[in-house]
Amino acid sequence: MVMKTATVASYLTPKVSNYPHYPSAFHSNLRKDHVFTHSISPTYPKERSEKSVSCFGDLALDDARQVFDEMLQRKPLPPIQSACGSGSWEKAKRLLDDMVDQKIPRDVRTFNILVDALCKEGKAKEAYNLLAVMVKGGEFPNSVTYDTLMDGYCLIDEVDKARNLLDFMTTRSFLQPSVISYNTLINGYCKSEDLDEALIIFENMPKIGINPNMVTYSALISGLCREGRVIDAFKRLNEMKTYGLEANIVIYSALVDSLCKHKRVDEALALFEKLDGVTIRVVPNIITCNCLIDGLCKDGKLDEANKLFLGLSARGLQPNVRTYNIMINGLCKRGRLNEANELLVKMIDSGCSPDGFTYNIIVQGFLVTKETLKAISTLKTMHDCGFSANAYTAGLVVDLLTGHGLDASCKKALEVYFRKT
C-alpha cells in the first residue's frame, strides 16, 4: 500500500526528542503485559478489546527462529511475540527484518508486540520511531499502540510526553482515548508525584464522557495517600459511590498506611476494624495488616501490634518476611531483644527465611545494649546465610571497637568477622 506523505506525517506528530534511553527508578513492578491486557496495578481489569493468543507458547528464542525458517514458505505470522517475551528485542527486530525481506504481512498486532517490548526495556523513543515503519508498511496505530506508548513514557518518567500523545488522540486522530488511556496518565502523574496534574486529568474524564473506574480511583487515592493528602483521599473514597463503585482492599490498605505514617494510628485502627464488617465488606490482606502492625509499633503500641500479629492465622493469613521484620524491629526498638530473638527462631521454624534487614536489626539491638557475644553470634549466622552488615551496623561495630571497656576476646572476634567480610 502506498501512503501519502501528509497521512504519514499526521500520524507521527507530536514530535518528541531528548528521550532517556534507560529505565529509571520510576519503573515499578506494577507493569504487566501492555500489548493486549493493560495494567497499572496488580488488580487492573482486562479491558482490551483486542486479545492476543500466541500459538508458540513458551518456545525458546532459538526454537522460535527455527519455526520461523520452517514457516517462510507458508507465510504465516512468525513468532515475534515469543522472541519479545524472551527479553531479546534485538533478535525480535531481526525477525521483523526477515518478515520484510520475505514479504510476510505485518499487522498492527505484530507492531504492538514490538512497541510493547521496546517500552518494557525503557526504549520509548525507539518504540515511537517504530510508528513510521508501521505507517510506511500500510498499518495504522490503534488505541492499543498509543496506550502502550503512553505507558512506556510513564515508565521512564516522561509523563508529559505521554500527555502529548493523549492530547494528540483527542484532537488530531480518529482514535478516541479510553478509560485505560486516562488511567495510564493518572497513574504516571501520581508516580511522579505530580498530583495536581493527575487531578486535572481526572476531573476532565466525565466532561468527555469517560467515567472513572476502580483502577482510576486506586491510582489516584494511592497517590494522594503517598503524598499525605489523606483528606483528599477520603473525599475521593466517598465520591466513588457516585459511579456505583465500592473501594477494594488496595485502596483501603493505602488509606490505613497513610493514616499510620501521619501519626493518625487510632483512625487507622478504627478503619481497619470496620473492614470485613457490615458497612465495609472488604477483607484485609497481609499488606493491610502489615501497614497497621507497623503503625502500631512505631506509635509505641507494641502489645496491640503483637495481638494483631498473633491473630493473623485466625484471619487465614500467613506472616511474610515483612511482617516478621516489622515485629522484630518494633521489639528491638523497645529493648525487648530476647523476644525479638525468639521471634527470629519462630520465623525460621515457620519456613519464612530472614533477610539482611532481619539480621541487621537484631545485631544493632544487641550492639546498642552492649550484648556483644549475642551480636557476634548473630553476625556469624548472618554471614553464613549470605548477608552482610549494612552501613549503620558497621558503624556501631566501629564505635564499639574504638571505644573502651570491650572484652579482648570479643574485640578479636569482631575484628576476625570483619576481615572475613
For every residue of 220-279, DSSP letters joined together read HHHHHHHTT-HHHHHHHHHHGGGGT----HHHHHHHHHHHHHTT-HHHHHHHHHHBTSSS
Helix axes 61-71, 89-101, angle to 10 degrees: 0
How far apart are the C-alpha atoms of 225 and 232, rounded to whole Å?
9
Length of the chain equals 421
For residue 260, which of 304, 213, 209 has the smallest C-alpha distance?
Answer: 304
Residues sharing a CB contact under 8 Å with residue 273, sequence separation 6 or more, in sequence order:
none
- In the prediction, which pLDDT does 127 show? 84
- In the prediction, which pLDDT does 56 show? 34
* Mean pLDDT on 180-188: 95
Assign 386 to helix, strand or coil. Answer: coil
- In the prediction, which pLDDT does 72 show? 41
Of the two residues 355 and 108, the one the predictor is more confident about is: 355
Contact 119, 34 (CB under 8 A): yes
Tally the C-alpha atoms within 13 A of residue 348's C-alpha that lie toward its C-beta: 12
* Mean pLDDT on 144-169: 91
Band (pLDDT 50/70/90 cuts) for residue 35 is very low
pLDDT for 15 beyond 70 = no
Residue 60's CB: how many other CB atoms inside 10 A? 11
How far apart are the C-alpha atoms of 366 and 375, rounded to whole Å?
5
Q: What is the DSSP letter of 353?
A: -
- In the prediction, which pLDDT does 172 show? 74
pLDDT for 143 beyond 60 = yes
- In the prediction, which pLDDT does 176 show? 86
For residue 197, which of 172, 227, 177 has the smallest C-alpha distance?
Answer: 227
Band (pLDDT 50/70/90 cuts) for residue 128 is confident
Contact 336, 318 (CB under 8 A): no
Band (pLDDT 50/70/90 cuts) for residue 17 is very low
Q: Which helix (H) or strand (E) holds 62?
A: helix 61-71
pLDDT for 310 beyond 90 = yes
Q: What is the pLDDT of residues 206-242, one digit of tens each?
A: 998 999 999 999 999 999 999 999 999 999 999 999 9
pLDDT for 37 beyond 90 = no
Q: What is the pLDDT of residues 245-280, one digit of tens each?
A: 999 999 999 999 999 999 999 999 999 999 988 778
Q: What is the pLDDT of residues 335-394, one digit of tens each?
A: 999 999 999 999 999 999 999 999 999 999 999 988 888 998 999 899 899 999 999 998
How far apart are the C-alpha atoms of 238 and 240, rounded to whole Å?
5
Contact 123, 151 (CB under 8 A): no
* Share above pLDDT 90 across residues of the chain, in percent, rounded to a whole number: 50
Helix axes 89-101, 108-120, angle to 10 degrees: 160
Joined together, the cell numbers standing for residue 387 give 548477608
**DSSP one-letter string for 10-69:** HHHPSP-----SS--TT--TT---TTTS--SSTT-----SS----TTTT--HHHHHHHHH
- In the prediction, which pLDDT does 98 show? 65
Residues sharing a CB contact under 8 Å with residue 254, sequence separation 6 or more, in sequence order:
221, 222, 225, 226, 233
Q: What is the pLDDT of residues 59-107, one digit of tens each?
A: 444 554 454 454 444 444 444 454 455 445 565 566 666 666 656 566 7
294 backbone dihedrals φ, ψ, rounded to 5°: -60, -45
Structural domains in the chain? 1-168 (1.25.40)
Assign 280 to helix, strand or coil. Answer: strand
Report the chain's terminal Cα–Cα distance, integer Å. 65
Tally the C-alpha atoms within 13 A of residue 81's C-alpha that lie toward its C-beta: 19
- In the prediction, which pLDDT does 129 show? 83
- In the prediction, which pLDDT does 287 show? 97
Residue 374's CB: how many other CB atoms inside 10 A? 17
Q: What is the pLDDT of residues 387-412, one digit of tens each?
A: 999 999 989 888 877 776 677 777 77
- In the prediction, which pLDDT does 83 show? 46
- pTM for this model (two decimals): 0.73
Tally the C-alpha atoms within 13 A of residue 182's C-alpha that lie toward its C-beta: 26
- In the prediction, which pLDDT does 276 show? 82
Q: Which helix (H) or strand (E) holds 384?
A: helix 372-384
How far apart are the C-alpha atoms of 292 and 253, rounded to whole Å?
9
* Mean pLDDT on 9-34: 35
114 backbone dihedrals φ, ψ, rounded to 5°: -70, -40
Is the link from the previous residue into 14 a cis peptide, with omega within 30 of 0?
yes
How far apart are the C-alpha atoms of 202 and 179, rounded to whole Å?
10
* Buried/exposed code over 48-57 (b: 16+ C-beta within 10 A; e: otherwise): beeeeeeebe
Please give the single-letter amino acid code of residue 299: D
